[in-house]
Chain A
Amino acid sequence: MSILPPSQKIWWKEPIHGIEMMWIILALIWCLVLFLWMPYWHVYGKQNLSNESYKTSPEQFEAKANTMAKAYTVRTDAKSNTPVVHPPAGSDVYMLGRLWQWWPILELEKNKTYRLHLSSLDWQHGFSLQPTNINLQILPGYETVVTITPDQSGEFAVVCNEYCGVGHHTMLGKIYVK
């Protein structure tokens, strides 16, 4: 009876019965597999989150994004009045989150590797690239650097998936891959 004190005063020496022992061993093996899978994926997997990030300030980050946009803007998205930026293949690219947009729109080349820098100018945001489905937490004051290699061409949306106030559901960005 689990609602009564154990029937033996010294219960630590009770034998463990066969089925329980077998289950503990099976479960432990699976736990070790799960655990080792993570370092394994760091070495052999192609999708990892880099540990590269910096403390920054909204002003610093905005300046960098502006510099990039000024240099490489190819056109402007009319409806949202957002520049579409086509930075050189393999370069450092910037995208900032603020209430309520991802800025600027990026145009990347397929199978080229970019260093994507992300940060927020105000509250916390969630960088959710759809439909490929990559999700990152974006914080003000921190610059995340992710090395990405778009391997599909097409139009991708950046949905904000961290609640950021009453306009949250209108916050979208775009990445075109050519």
Chain B
Amino acid sequence: MQKNDNQESTQEEEAVPGMQQLLDNPFMLLFLGVMFPTVFYILWGIMEIISIPAVK
């Protein structure tokens, strides 16, 4: 649990890669984690159910 001073000072200036920024952002992840299944599973599924034809 000790600090790592040398690491910190050298990396402070370095730009954080985009993927790491995403993984460090809980709200962006929340958005993706709700949107993906809502679109692919729920909305797509409901559209298919609605479009089932009535029997002849």
Residues of chain B lying within 8 A (CB to CB) of residue A17: none
Smallest Cβ distance from B11 to chain A, in angstroms?
4
A-B contact count (CB 8 A): 37
The answer to whether A10 and B55 touch across the interface, beta carbons within 8 angstroms, is: no
Task: Find A9's partner among B11, B23, B55 (CB 8 Å cutoff).
Answer: B11
**Total interface residues in chain A, CB < 8 Å:** 16
Smallest Cβ distance from A110 to chain B, in angstroms?
29
From 1 to 52 in chain A, residues with beta carbon under 8 angstroms from any chain B beta carbon are: 4, 7-13
The answer to whether B8 and A54 touch across the interface, beta carbons within 8 angstroms, is: no
**Total interface residues in chain B, CB < 8 Å:** 17
The answer to whether A56 and B7 touch across the interface, beta carbons within 8 angstroms, is: no
Q: In the bound complex, what is the Cα–Cα distance between A86 and B55 (angstroms)?
A: 24
The yes or no answer to A109 lying at the interface (CB within 8 A) is no
Given known A-B contacts A8-B7, A11-B20, A13-B17, A54 and B55 have beta carbons under 8 A apart: yes
Task: Find A10's partner among B1, B4, B14, B53 (CB 8 Å cutoff).
Answer: B14
Q: A residues near B, CB below 8 A?
A: 4, 7-13, 53-56, 60-61, 142-143
Task: Give me 10 A-to-B residue pairs in the complex whose CB atoms sit less than 8 angstroms apart, sorted by A's number.
Answer: A7-B7, A9-B7, A10-B11, A10-B17, A11-B20, A12-B19, A13-B17, A54-B53, A55-B54, A56-B54
